[in-house]
Amino acid sequence: MIVHQHKSLQGEMHRDHPLASYTSFQAGGSAEIFYRPMDMNDLRTFLEMLPENSQLTWLGLGSNTLVREGGIKGAVICTRKTLGKISVQGNQVYAEAGVSCAKLAKVLARYGLSGGEFFAGIPGTVGGALAMNAGAFGSETWDFVEEIEVIHRDGKITAAGREAFDVGYRNVMIPEDQWFCAARFVFHTESSESARSNIRNLLYKRNTSQPIGLPSFGSVFKNPEGEHAAKIIERCGLKGYRVGGAYVSDKHANFIINSGTATAEDAVKLIEYIQGVVKEQTGYFLEPEVRIIGDAP
């Protein structure tokens, strides 16, 4: 794929750029082309210049992403530390795709807006949360979406209401040549102290039940209807099970931890092993929540 750092581009571009440090699991391959746009206009320029047949992958905080060791062909657009515009008008909040969910939660608390406290427990960006309908503690991202901005493959941006998208559990249907670049949310009005208290309580609950601070993907599998993936995995005796440098957390069985030496392929093999054991012992097929991208080595 031929892409040059044209003088009209203002962002950060690299070739054959390692991506391990851009994922929370801290392992994986490289991007053929890595681009971090300066802002939304720069992103539009990059997309306009990108060859029409080139592959395009988006990466936020990499908290729900496994990049295989063979790397990613085409261009990877990284929204970490960019596309961070956020504004508040009454009980409505506009946020671009690169805003971290943690920052969104802090802004909501500052303005005395409630309902979105759960964002404090999601270690990703608004773009990623929109793409997978991320949720925690009984709430989901799209519960609060009023309007969406979508960027097309040619750099054009269009807006649509929530009703334009088929939204489900950890899944949102959107055409392959379109991506969420911003959203307008509507929340409830509450006191700032009450909102901050809610966040503290949710974070305490998360920190006491999950292996926070260790390199992981977050939740590896989606919960089957009426069940919890973690409890199913634990019942199968898989806590602590290891493949190479990757192992099932002893604290929360739906987390896979990188002990410091894990490769992406260790994680892939462990995911497949868990699926096989669970299917054999319980009949459940655990569908991955983690996004597995890139080529096998």
CATH code of the domain occupying 229-293? 3.90.78.10
Dump the DSSP string for 182-212.
EEEEE-EE--HHHHHHHHHHHHHHHHHHS-T
CATH code of the domain occupying 86-209? 3.30.465.10
In the chain, pLDDT over 70 holds for what percent of residues? 98
Q: 12-78: what CATH class? A: alpha beta
Question: Coil, helix or strand for 246?
Answer: strand
In the chain, pLDDT over 90 holds for what percent of residues? 89
Tell me: pLDDT of 158 over 70: yes
**Residues annotated as part of the active site:** 170, 219, 289
- Alpha carbon 259 to chain centroid distance? 22
pLDDT, residue 190, reads: 85
The pLDDT tens digits for 212-241 are 999 999 999 999 999 999 999 999 999 999
Specify the pTM.
0.92
- Considering the chain, what is the average pLDDT of its residues? 95
Domain ranges of the chain: 12-78, 86-209, 229-293
Helix extents (H) in the chain: 40-49, 101-110, 126-132, 192-209, 229-235, 264-282
The pLDDT tens digits for 4-56 are 566 789 999 999 999 999 999 999 999 999 999 999 999 999 999 998 889 99
Question: Coil, helix or strand for 87?
Answer: strand
Q: What tokens were used for 263?
A: 């490769």
Which 8-state DSSP code applies to residue 163?
G
Q: What would you measure as the largest C-alpha separation in the chain, in angstroms?
A: 58
Please name the residues in contact with 139: beta carbons below 8 A apart, sequence gap of 6 or more.
115, 116, 118
Q: In which region does residue 140 sit, left (phi positive, over 0), alpha (psi from -120 to 50) or beta (all else)?
A: beta
Residue with tokens 């009980």: 91
Q: What are phi and psi of 202, to 5 degrees?
A: -65, -40
